[in-house]
Amino acid sequence: KQEVTQIPAALSVPEGENLVLNCSFTDSAIYNLQWFRQDPGKGLTSLLLIQSSQREQTSGRLNASLDKSSGRSTLYIAASQPGDSATYLCAVRRGTSYDKVIFGPGTSLSVIP
Partner 1 sequence: DVKVTQSSRYLVKRTGEKVFLECVQDMDHENMFWYRQDPGLGLRLIYFSYDVKMKEKGDIPEGYSVSREKKERFSLILESASTNQTSMYLCASSLWRGHEQFFGPGTRLTVL
Contact residues: partner 1, CB under 8 A: 31-32, 34, 36, 41-46, 49, 89, 91, 93, 95-97, 99-101, 103-106
Instruction: For the chain, give the longest Cα–Cα distance.
Output: 45
Output the smallest distance, CB 84 to partner 1, in A: 19
Distance, CA of 25 to CA of 34 (rounded, Å): 13
Best CA proximity match to 73, nearest among 43, 13, 45, 33: 33
Output the smallest distance, CB 106 to partner 1, in A: 7
Q: Which is nearer to partner 1, 13 or 103 (CB)?
A: 103
Whether the upstream peptide bond of residue 14 has omega within 30° of 0, thus cis, is no
Q: Which is nearer to partner 1, 13 or 22 (CB)?
A: 22
